[in-house]
Amino acid sequence: MSISLTLKGQELDPRRYASLPKNMNALGLAYGVSSGNVVSDPTLPIADFSITAQTAVLGYVRTFGLAGKLSRIAVAVPYTFLSGNLTVNGHDTSGVRAGFDDAQLRFGMNLIGSPLQDKQQFVHFEQKTIVGASIVISMPTGQYDNSKYINLGNNRWGIKPEIGVSKRFERFYLEAYTGVWFYTKNNNYLGGKIRSQHPVFSIQAHACYYFKNQMWVSLNTTLFKGGVTYVNNSKTSISFDNWRIGGTWSLPIARGQSIKLQVSAGAFATRGYNYNSFSMAYQVVFF
């Protein structure tokens, strides 16, 4: 189980569909730093855009039984300090943003291969193949100013249906999942314009290795495509075609407590999301 730290939604998040005991609670606090290029609309008078984003995320996960299936609900609330340099209409400028980013809510259910078990039963469970599904909702809670080119929030809703498969081979754990982000329109973009975006398709794959002390490491990768944007029905961008890679190290430090370190980098990008990131998270599990 893990709690995501994400900048604008393209996170690398291993073990999303692993089996867990029911009635489990997990509370996590993550801090991350990202630097590099972020998405900007090519029609805007912006060039040479680079940022450093420091983000703190408070997350909570709860597992429970629903219709006899292991289910979970998770919420993540990010707060971001963003500083950057860019060229606007040929003039060098810099700026900062500080405030809440868009919060995310996730509901997931393991459909096959993950029996509903309490903590005592789960100790003896050996995972094989699990098939699960989830719905992620991005809520327009982030700071937004319709007179600014760059904002922390998107002033729109997003919803992502997703399906995933995971399998355990003794100490190895493999996982893959795919989904599509759908977005509502931003009806207050740059002084009242209407901004819309086509769906964004994504796929992730993770390979984990577990040690005897419950420490684990993983290699992570994600690919996402699509997301052409329009302003007042006029096309303003090309499609995403991006690939990111990364790694995760989770270290238990006490009973029910762990620290997770994660790094990622852009391997290929046609536009935006070509940044490097590092995050550290503390998590405590209780029943």
- The 10s digit of each residue's pLDDT in 101-156 is 999 999 999 999 999 999 999 988 989 999 999 999 999 999 999 988 788 999 99
Give the full edge-to-edge strand order of the sheet including 234-235. Answer: 186-189, 193-197, 229-231, 234-235
Q: Please report the pLDDT score of residue 59 as a whole number.
A: 94
Give the C-alpha distances (Å, rounded to integers) separating 106 from 77, 80, 247, 261.
12, 20, 23, 22
Return the bridge partners of 85, or none: 50, 94
pTM of the shown model: 0.90
Give the C-alpha distances (Å, rounded to integers) separating 145 from 103, 141, 282.
17, 12, 32
Q: Please report the pLDDT score of residue 130 as a whole number.
A: 96
Helix (H) or strand (E) holding 120: helix 119-122
Helix (H) or strand (E) holding 129: strand 129-138
Q: How many Cα atoms are found within 13 Å in the side-chain-facing hemisphere of 285?
A: 18
- The single-letter code of the amino acid at 273 is Y
Answer yes or no: are the C-beta atoms of 144 and 102 closer than 8 Å. no
Q: Please report the pLDDT score of residue 199 as a whole number.
A: 95
Residue 120 sits at φ, ψ, to 5 deg, of -70, -40
**Phi-psi map region of 73: left, alpha, beta (phi>0 left; psi -120 to 50 alpha):** beta
Residue 181 DSSP one-character state: E
**Phi-psi map region of 227: left, alpha, beta (phi>0 left; psi -120 to 50 alpha):** left
Answer yes or no: are the C-beta atoms of 272 and 11 closer than 8 Å. no
The tokens describing 24, both together, are 């489990």
Radius of gyration of the chain (CA): 19
Q: Please report the pLDDT score of residue 1 as a whole number.
A: 41
**Structural domains in the chain, sorted by start:** 25-286 (2.40.128.130)
Low-confidence ranges of the chain (pLDDT < 50): 1-9
